[in-house]
Amino acid sequence: DTAVSQTPKYLVTQMGNDKSIKCEQNLGHDTMYWYKQDSKKFLKIMFSYNNKELIINETVPNRFSPKSPDKAHLNLHINSLELGDSAVYFCASSQDLARLAGGENEQFFGPGTRLTVL
């Protein structure tokens, strides 16, 4: 009954490889996010989609490409992985954009994917 799920939980890979992380939410939410948490636990938003439409695209290298096949899924593909990409990546969702704009935007987080680039 996991509300927001991510796969895989751990990902260890070599520099230069391409990898994907998948996220699914069964809460019926319209808005989904990707965050990156560094080793100091600082949480930074990367992308946000609302009903499959990109609404937030922070200053993220274009090696990172999100894809939302439907509003319940938001996947993250990373090309040419670098050492600095090592972090924990969190997917999250919230109810809808109107509530987000109005501030009623409690976010529900997935368990995270720990990416280690060697």
Partner 1 sequence: SQQGEEDPQALSIQEGENATMNCSYKTSINNLQWYRQNSGRGLVHLILIRSNEREKHSGRLRVTLDTSKKSSSLLITASRAADTASYFCATAVYGNNRLAFGKGNQVVVIP
Interacting residue ranges for partner 1, rule: CB under 8 A = 4, 40-45, 48, 55-56, 90, 92, 97, 100-112
Question: Residue 99 is inside which H or E element, if any?
Answer: helix 97-101
By C-beta, is 46 or 117 nearer to partner 1? 46
Length of the chain equals: 118
DSSP state of 63: T
CB of 16 to partner 1, least distance (A): 28
Question: Residue 100 is inside which H or E element, if any?
Answer: helix 97-101
Closest CA to 47 of 38, 37, 35, 39: 35
CB of 80 to partner 1, least distance (A): 27
By C-beta, is 13 or 109 nearer to partner 1? 109
CB of 7 to partner 1, least distance (A): 14
Q: What is the CA radius of gyration of the chain?
A: 14
CB of 28 to partner 1, least distance (A): 17
By C-beta, is 82 or 104 nearer to partner 1? 104
